[in-house]
Structure 1
Amino acid sequence: MKKKYQDNKINRIKDTLSEVLGLSNHDIYSIDPIGGMTNKNFKVNIKNENYILRIPGNGTKEMISRYSEKYNNLIVNKLEIDTNMLYFNEENGLKVSKYINNAETITPKTAKREDNMKLITNILKKLHNSNVKFNNEFDVFSKIEEYEILLKKYNGKNFDDYTLVKGKVTKLKQILEQIGVESVPCHNDTVPENFVKDNERLYLVDWEYSGMNDPMWDLAAHSLESGFLESEEELFLSLYFEGRIEDRYKKKILIYKICQDFLWSIWTNIKEAKGDNFGTYGEYRYNRAKINLKKITN
């Protein structure tokens, strides 16, 4: 029964690819799932060429602007930061892009290597200093409000002390404004797994959450998601800044870590209200936000 379900699923994917790319089903040699948190991703072999097929996951239509993603993705393609797109449907989010052959996906473990840190900081500086303009803003405090509305719509539940913690997170906006907030093109989801390298270069993939934002958000996200120790984060930041890191940047990075944990905990609750299961992921991030809040308020 399970095999029949999988076969039907693969056949539906083949039919979809054939339709959007103008192919015969016989041109599609294989389709293999390769995971993903927000979406379902597949490695697809078409006429002995490999591609990545991205099928949007539960609840993403209201959480992500595919129009903005496509617009921004085309920009970064010109900057030669990501792989080229073969197809992108801005209505339903279906995307087909070139697969990176002989690739190494960065992991939290390999992100701690200095050679990989150099590659990652270089590509982030290239993006942040590019002077290009994405067509949308990524503002975490607006996102929090948007996600709350979606959570309520899907009858999801927030944490018991959510209102209290949200009040503390919201006050961080004033601190950020006092320090000074920049607005540059940012990826906004710099988990290690979104950095992929081959023998020639490093790629930064998956631009769903991209938008104009403070560059410290990208640094905070990568440090947080890589699980950097204090010494590792210090090295990572020194490579990005090419020397000493000012205290104001360190403070912004800590604030953005709190905001990210808080925001993605709500994101998790929305996804679970739509049928996904992330175990203790959301609760872990929420509790870590509370721990880091004490570092700001104390």
Structure 2
Amino acid sequence: MKKLREFHGQKLRVDHSFDLFGQMEYYESLWEGTPSAYKDYEKTKAHVLQLKDYIEANAGERVLTHIDAVPDNFLFVEENGKEEIRLIDWEYAGMQDPHVDIAMFCIYSLYKKEQVDHLIDLYFEGNCDDRTRIKIYCYIAVCGLLWSNWCEYKRKLGVEFGEYSLRQYRYAKDYYKIVQQELGEEGKETCTK
């Protein structure tokens, strides 16, 4: 997380962005009319879309964000007797709120909420405010549905991701509920505008 924070702190800029909601819709469009494997998909998608207003109201400065900042893409190398960490696989990188990278790390690792909160605390060195933490929970829900849609597209091509696919879908459902619980009555207003 220190390396990720240092990368984000450089505030690098590029000419393209990564649109979470747009990518979610794009992967769904690749199903070409095939219904989702999940019977409650439309309800889950509607819930996830309700998080957009909260995200936009609380999004941080857009900087170059890796998007695929998962454990497999952190390369530990030894150079001149010193260990370094390098980020590899920049396929999805673009301008985005850098806190998306925290969410991506969590969902790829299949973290439980306690692990998610611990990772957030590591990234922010114990100083994460509640609104930012809730925003990261929103990103977990959105990114979970995005990658679940990607998995459903791959399933259409004959590639199965098994538990990973199901867990991504569960993140969409579970973290929507967590956001609602965290926001209480405010959440009902914020997430239904």
Tell me the distance in 1 between the aligned counterparts of 2:134 and 2:106. 14
Structure 2 equivalent of residue 134 of structure 1 = 14
Q: Secondary structure at the match of 1:128?
A: helix
Is 2:110–2:167's contact at 8 Å kept on the other side of the alignment?
A: no
What percentage of aligned pairs have identical amino acids?
34
- Deviation of 1:278 after TM superposition, in Å, equals 1.7
Is 1:264–1:282's contact at 8 Å kept on the other side of the alignment?
A: yes
2:123 is aligned with 1:223: no
**Cα shift readout 1:82-106 (whole Å, capped 9, x = no counterpart):** xxxxxxxxxxxxxxxxxxxxxxxxx
Is 1:156–1:269's contact at 8 Å kept on the other side of the alignment?
A: no
Pairing 1:32-43 to 2, within 5 Å after superposition: none
Tell me the distance in 1 between the aligned counterparts of 2:160 and 2:114. 34
Structure 1 equivalent of residue 88 of structure 2 = 205
One-letter code aligned to 1:249: T
Pairing 1:79-118 to 2, within 5 Å after superposition: none
**More strand, by proportion:** 1
One-letter code aligned to 2:15: N
One-letter code aligned to 1:140: L
Tell me the distance in 1 between the aligned counterparts of 2:45 and 2:112. 27
Pairing 1:1-298 to 2, within 5 Å after superposition: 121-152=1-32, 156-158=34-36, 159-199=38-78, 200-228=83-111, 230=113, 232-298=115-181
Q: Secondary structure at the match of 1:217?
A: helix
One-letter code aligned to 2:86: Y
Decide whether aligned partners of structure 1 residues 278 and 156 sit closer, same or farther in structure 2, where only a CA change above 3 A counts.
farther
One-letter code aligned to 2:76: K
One-letter code aligned to 2:58: I
Tell me the distance in 1 between the aligned counterparts of 2:119 and 2:168. 22
Q: RMSD over aligned Cα, in angstroms?
A: 2.0
Normalised by the size of structure 1, how large is the TM-score?
0.54
**Cα shift readout 1:56-115 (whole Å, capped 9, x = no counterpart):** xxxxxxxxxxxxxxxxxxxxxxxxxxxxxxxxxxxxxxxxxxxxxxxxxxxxxxxxxxxx
Tell me the distance in 2 between the aligned counterparts of 1:279 and 1:227. 13
Is 2:120–2:128's contact at 8 Å kept on the other side of the alignment?
A: yes
Tell me the distance in 1 between the aligned counterparts of 2:149 and 2:113. 27
More off after superposition, 211-220 vs 226-235: 226-235
Decide whether aligned partners of structure 1 residues 144 and 228 sit closer, same or farther in structure 2, where only a CA change above 3 A counts.
closer
One-letter code aligned to 1:288: Y
Decide whether aligned partners of structure 1 residues 194 and 147 sit closer, same or farther in structure 2, where only a CA change above 3 A counts.
same
Is 1:148–1:266's contact at 8 Å kept on the other side of the alignment?
A: yes
Larger Rg: 1
Tell me the distance in 1 between the aligned counterparts of 2:171 and 2:146. 12
Is 2:107–2:144's contact at 8 Å kept on the other side of the alignment?
A: no
User: What count of residue pairs does the alignment treat as equivalent?
Assistant: 176
More off after superposition, 142-151 vs 164-173: 142-151
Tell me the distance in 2 between the aligned counterparts of 1:289 and 1:231. 17
Tell me the distance in 2 between the aligned counterparts of 1:295 and 1:252. 11
